Structures are given as structure tokens and as C-alpha cells.
Amino acid sequence: MTLGLVRSLAPAALLVAALVWLGASLWTLQGERAERDVFDALAANRNVEPPDDASGELLFARAHYLLSRDRIDEAQALVGRIVDRGGPAVAARFHYDLGNARARRAVGAVEASQINKAIPEVRLAKDAYRAALRGDPGLWDARYNLDVVMRLVRDFPEFEAAEEETKAQPKKLWTDLPGRPRGLP
């Protein structure tokens, strides 16, 4: 009886299961196809915003589009989502591209003899390359470029120590102002 019931109902149950699977896989395929359309639009230099539920790789493609146009601030707004959804490997490539964008700005400033503008950009580029290497030590281009920007402005232990000191005493804002006695001459 039980065996008979199974033999009678199994084909219908199998069909339902297969249809559910088919629906799920078509849904996934549809989503990936829509995502690739956005990707292709970005690759064709069209300014397209990725959807809210975009994958880490697509967000990285958007960030790459922005960074190659020197729109660093907009790209940096994507960092949290890229790290969350793309994992360390995608995040490492994002940080590498970010470092490259900073390094391009720094080199441009150096060539225009604006050293004061170059220094903070170099510092940010170094941070970005380090973040890239932390996420993916096998990213050799990041090592090379970190070496290049290190030649622009080197890290020195003395600078670090001096910086930590200033961080530790942020409240001394007024002590260095030249005082001028008022009232009596």
C-alpha cells in the first residue's frame, strides 16, 4: 500500500521539484544577466549606477569606472559594500585601484611642483596599497606601486613618533599663538 502510494505520487512530486529548481535557476540566470548588462555598460564608458543589491564584483567595476576618471570620493563611498560582498580578493583589487588613483594625483602634483599637495596624496596611496596587500599578499602590482610611492615620500620612524605625539595632545590648540599683552602699555 505504502509502496503503491509512493509509485503513484512519485512522478508528480518529481515534476514539482524539478519545476521549482527550474524556476530558481532561471531567476538566478536572469539576475546575473541583468548584472552583466550593467557591467557591459560600464565597460562601454557609460555612467551607470549599479543596483542596490549588486555583487561585490559589479561594485568594483563601478569603482574602477569612477577611479579611472579621478572621481575618488564617489568611489570611496562604495568601499563598505565592496568589502562586505566581494570578500578580501575583490576588496584588495579595489584598494589597489584606489591607490593608483591617489598615486596619479600625487605624481601630477609633483610634476606641477606642488609638493604640499602631493604629500597627503602619497600618504593615502600608501594606505590604500597596504590595505590591498593585507587583503591579498599575492597582488604583486600593489607591491611594485607601493615601492614607487615610497620613493616619492618615504616613511620614517621619527615622523611616526612625532605624529603620535601630536595625536596624543590634540587639545593644545592655543598655546602656540603669539600673545600680546592688552591694557597697559
Answer yes or no whether residue 40 interacts with other proteins by CB under 8 A.
Answer: yes
Burial 80-113 (b: 16+ CB within 10 A, else e): ebbbebbeeebbbbbbbbbbbbbbbbbbebbeee
Q: How far apart are alpha carbons 141 and 9 in whole angstroms?
A: 60
Q: How far apart are alpha carbons 52 and 68 in whole angstroms?
A: 22
Q: Is the dihedral of CA 167, 169, 172, 175 positive or negative?
A: negative
Answer yes or no whether residue 91 interacts with other proteins by CB under 8 A.
Answer: no
CB of 180 to other proteins, least distance (A): 40
Selected from 50, 105, 121, 145, the binder of other proteins by CB under 8 A is 145
Answer yes or no whether residue 96 interacts with other proteins by CB under 8 A.
Answer: yes
Q: Identity (one letter) of the amino acid at 141?
A: D
Answer yes or no whether residue 128 interacts with other proteins by CB under 8 A.
Answer: no
Applying CB under 8 A, the residues found at the interface with other proteins are 1, 4-5, 7-8, 11-12, 14-15, 17-19, 21-22, 24-26, 28-29, 32-33, 35-36, 39-40, 43, 55, 57-58, 60-61, 64, 67-68, 93, 96-97, 100, 103-104, 107, 110-111, 130, 133-134, 137, 139-152, 154-157, 160
